[in-house]
Amino acid sequence: MPVGVHVSTSARRNRAHVSGAASTAVRPLLEAPRRPARVLAAFPAGVYLEVRTELEPTVIAVITGEAVRLPNSVLLAGGLPRVEMGEEAWVGDRGVDLGPLSLRVRRWWDPAPPLGQVDLASLEAAAAVLARPAEPAPGLPGNGVVAALAAACGRGWLLGMATAAEQLVGLGPGLTPSGDDVLAGLLVTLRHLGTATGTERAVWLAGWLAATVTFDARTRTTPLSATLLHCAARGEASPEVTAVLRGVAGAQQLEPALRRLRRVGHTSGADLAQGMAIGVDAVLSLAGHPGGRP
């Protein structure tokens, strides 16, 4: 136990000891020595904890199976005790101690599973599905910066992409602003589909765009969204996003996966889907396929 931390005998006795499975995205933080954390938000199905690190704030989502499994999540094997804002929390040594909860990580899951090889014909068919209007609508309908981002991606114009991305980071209300969600969907799609189709230009652009949107993200958006942008920069995403990627690749049905993604949050899922649609079109264009829409 760290110096200066005191837990009474009764508090230890009343703690709920559970195990969980954590994303490898937060493995370095969970396997580091214990350090204090603060509760950013608490819901019946999950708690967001911010841990101050040397480089940037990092947010870990401690969730039950009823919550969206974000790529920075630790999934509990059981229920989540009631947690209040301001509860004392500690993260590290392969565990999370949060109020009455003592969690130990027993397993790990991969938030960036590879797709394998994907042909461009599958992407062309998927692009048509992703382009259809759907409800709920994205949070930035008709936004000129999103349109500029899509046009720059289709041309493979890095400066245009970076300029648009700078304006989108932190744009919109909520824990994950719409601009960030669009960028996250785009980053994950460029990296995974660029790799799966052998479109090196798309992977190269993903790397540079990732550097743009993650640079000092903690000062430009919310702590949770900054963490998710860093995850997306590495190709890490929720199962709802990776299911759509698998649908685009023809490994499962696309439309049901897309409907599930669009139901995530108020507009987060729709915004992620919008970014993914931009990414699919961009990979097609960069690969020289006529199905791309620059």
* pLDDT single digits (tens) 242-274: 999 999 999 999 999 999 999 999 999 999 999
**34: which DSSP letter?**
P
Which pLDDT score, from 0 to 100, does residue 288 have?
Answer: 79
Q: How far apart are CA 111 and CA 101, in angstroms?
A: 25
Contact, 47 vs 61, CB < 8 A?
A: yes
Which pLDDT score, from 0 to 100, does residue 52 have?
Answer: 81
Which pLDDT score, from 0 to 100, does residue 141 have?
Answer: 85
pTM for the structure as a whole: 0.91
| Nearest CA-CA partner of 209 in 274, 160, 161 | 161
How big, in percent rounded to 5, are the helix, strand and coil portions of the chain?
45, 20, 35
Which pLDDT score, from 0 to 100, does residue 99 have?
Answer: 84
Which residues are CB-contacts of 224 (< 8 A; sequence separation ≥ 6)? Answer: 40, 41, 48, 59, 61, 175, 176
Which pLDDT score, from 0 to 100, does residue 188 have?
Answer: 98
Q: Which amino acid, residue 239?
A: P
| Nearest CA-CA partner of 144 in 164, 163, 127, 171 | 164
Which residues are CB-contacts of 212 (< 8 A; sequence separation ≥ 6)? Answer: 161, 162, 165, 166
Work out the pLDDT band at 55, boundaries 50, 70, 90.
Answer: low
Question: Helices (DSSP H) in the chain: which residue ranges?
Answer: 9-13, 27-30, 120-130, 144-155, 158-168, 178-197, 200-214, 223-233, 239-248, 254-262, 268-286
Digit-coded pLDDT (tens) for 112-135: 999 999 999 999 999 999 999 999
- For residues 42 and 290, the model is more confident at 42
Work out the pLDDT band at 57, boundaries 50, 70, 90.
Answer: low
In the predicted structure, residue 9 carries a pLDDT above the cut 60: no
Q: What is the mean pLDDT of residues 177-197?
A: 98
Q: Name beta bridge partners: 177.
A: none
In the predicted structure, residue 85 carries a pLDDT above the cut 90: no
* C-alpha distances in Å from residue 88, one per residue of 51, 109, 189: 12, 27, 37
Which pLDDT score, from 0 to 100, does residue 290 have?
Answer: 53
In the predicted structure, residue 1 carries a pLDDT above the cut 60: no
* C-alpha distances in Å from residue 272, one per residue of 108, 148, 159, 289: 24, 17, 22, 24
Q: Determine the 3-state secondary structure of 135 from DSSP.
A: coil
Locus of tokens 């993200």: 217
Q: What is the mean pLDDT of residues 215-223?
A: 91
Q: How far apart are CA 9 and CA 134, in angstroms?
A: 55
Average pLDDT, the chain: 90
- Is there a cis peptide before residue 136, judged by omega within 30 degrees of 0? yes
Q: Which of 45-54, 145-154, 271-280 has the lowest mean pLDDT?
A: 45-54
Digit-coded pLDDT (tens) for 139-161: 998 899 999 999 999 999 999 99
Which residues are CB-contacts of 291 (< 8 A; sequence separation ≥ 6)? Answer: 120, 123, 124, 127, 284
Q: Which amino acid, residue 178?
A: S
Q: Which amino acid, residue 194?
A: G
Which pLDDT score, from 0 to 100, does residue 106 have?
Answer: 94
Contact, 26 vs 36, CB < 8 A?
A: no
Work out the pLDDT band at 100, boundaries 50, 70, 90.
Answer: confident
| Nearest CA-CA partner of 126 in 288, 279, 287, 294 | 279
Q: Determine the 3-state secondary structure of 148 from DSSP.
A: helix
| The two structure tokens encoding residue 207 | 């790397």
